[in-house]
Structure 1
């Protein structure tokens, strides 16, 4: 850890380099890393452009729930070593887009800032909406500097609702819209994009928290490589059933948000419940997130 910046009264930016001094890898804008924070493993968005990074920077909101974010605030100091995995891309920009409309709320500004830095580095057309509470706007000055006159600030949820509606209604064809923030803001964004006639393929979300899900129906999962048959009861995820049968599947959030537990589907149809896969990826039924998604029928075959 080479630097810790106080962004607001509840948010800090952690600036890290490799302990061995080696160069950090390039990565897509909007990528995240997985940080071991005490007994937790949390995903945090990188705020750099991803182009030849000199360091990895991620910002952490102290939530007051005793989780990994609180642990980082309370236990990490300059000079300490953290275990960081990644980066992983689950919110990359569409490079064929005519323009990018970036919408951030609260700490959701972090992947949006990454997209904004990359767009400026590449000379691409970009517009930003940033909603925040007074006195709680992380990275506000950086966003202002990078956005210039193409920034729309909204203080409070009501103002943000109006700005999102206005900006979604006033974009050239070929624009892609990206949003990150609390669930209520992302629901608002999706609903307004639908009302404004946006094709789903041009609407992108980065969720930090997954929506509540019902228990789902029971199904059987056949593991193609091992030949095992797993019974997945209602209320139990495919991931949980696999781990209980000593079938390793990488995982982290277990909410369908981080994308770590994606598995290949070789037969059957999927009831997708994640917040990671794009609409066209879902339509093929060739992959699923094992922590939340389920079989659409009684049986599914996966490559495991």
Structure 2
């Protein structure tokens, strides 16, 4: 995959704790278009993180991302907030999407918390361009709402909340009132997503109409499973809370890796058999038939790898 070298042409720190970057080519030439809900992976010393694109998706001249500072994170947000400056260059992987709007949906219901609003912004832009029926519920800490003014220019069908009780009341009523054929899109912290899914499930929503975008790295530990390697027949366990990548490395196998979040594609391994629980944001449905991302995806029972 060809990486892009882009320049930081604007920095916006208007929302406390959130830094918005505008990235462009040195010559201002057009960048690859992207599907609404797409992200880019930005490399930094020692790793890479994925960030949702919030700008225009059709033949853009710039990419816009917003990054929440996470002092206890892997280091990418600290680098962006504390070290990156106007005019600096960054290495960016081309856009990919695992959170695109379902075109056949009768209505698109967007539900976001905090920085989870970022993939929703491009959904709103697309809905306005194509005249799609869309509704947004957005909860955030008082004074920490990102894109609030821009959202108001993109749609009249947005509700904003800073109180959990008010949000939950509106969430329940909204989920209960949606016409058949509505698809819901959720992004935010894991507990937030679990709570929304629980309410939707209680109201009879089928799982196939609920689409989730997790924050990078926020994944449950998962159940233990076994790995069998076709090359030498070795079998070993991957314990709960330990990734396949970590287990392979501990057993002496060298697997290229970079982001450890299931977004960059570096640690893709071939699968010969078994049930894989895919958690990545990189592989297509076709690619998942015979591959998995070792950093985040897990198996059920035993998985045979073609290694």
What's the TM-score once normalised by structure 2's chain length? 0.85
> Which residue in 2 is equivalent to 1:116?
124
Where structure 2 has 5 or more consecutive residues not aligned to the other structure, the ranges are 1-7
CA-CA distance at 1:259 after TM superposition: 7.0
> Which residue in 1 is equivalent to 2:85?
77
> Which residue in 1 is equivalent to 2:141?
133
Q: Is the 8 A contact 1:7 1:139 kept in 2?
A: no
1:2 pairs with one of 6, 9, 12:
9
> Which residue in 1 is equivalent to 2:186?
179
CA-CA distance at 1:288 after TM superposition: 3.4
Q: Deviations over 1:180-222 (max 9, x none)?
A: 1112211111111111111111100110042331561333133
Q: Deviations over 1:146-188 (max 9, x none)?
A: 121x111111222222222111111111111001111221111
* Partners of 1:124 and 1:26 in 2: CA distance: 20
> Which residue in 2 is equivalent to 1:41?
48
> Which residue in 1 is equivalent to 2:25?
18
* Partners of 1:277 and 1:37 in 2: CA distance: 19
How many residue pairs align between the two structures?
292
Where structure 1 has 5 or more consecutive residues not aligned to the other structure, the ranges are none
Q: Deviations over 1:37-67 (max 9, x none)?
A: 3433111111124211121000011223372
Aligned 1:1-304 pairs, distance under 5 A = 1-19=8-26, 21-65=28-72, 67-148=75-156, 150-208=157-215, 209-214=217-222, 216-222=224-230, 227-229=231-233, 231-235=235-239, 236-242=242-248, 244-248=252-256, 251-254=258-261, 258=263, 260=265, 261=267, 263-270=269-276, 272=277, 274=279, 276=281, 286-302=290-306
What value does the CA root-mean-square deviation take over the aligned residues?
2.7
* Partners of 2:91 and 2:72 in 1: CA distance: 22
* Partners of 1:43 and 1:201 in 2: CA distance: 25
What's the TM-score once normalised by structure 1's chain length? 0.86
Q: Is the 8 A contact 1:269 1:285 kept in 2?
A: no
* Partners of 1:95 and 1:112 in 2: CA distance: 15
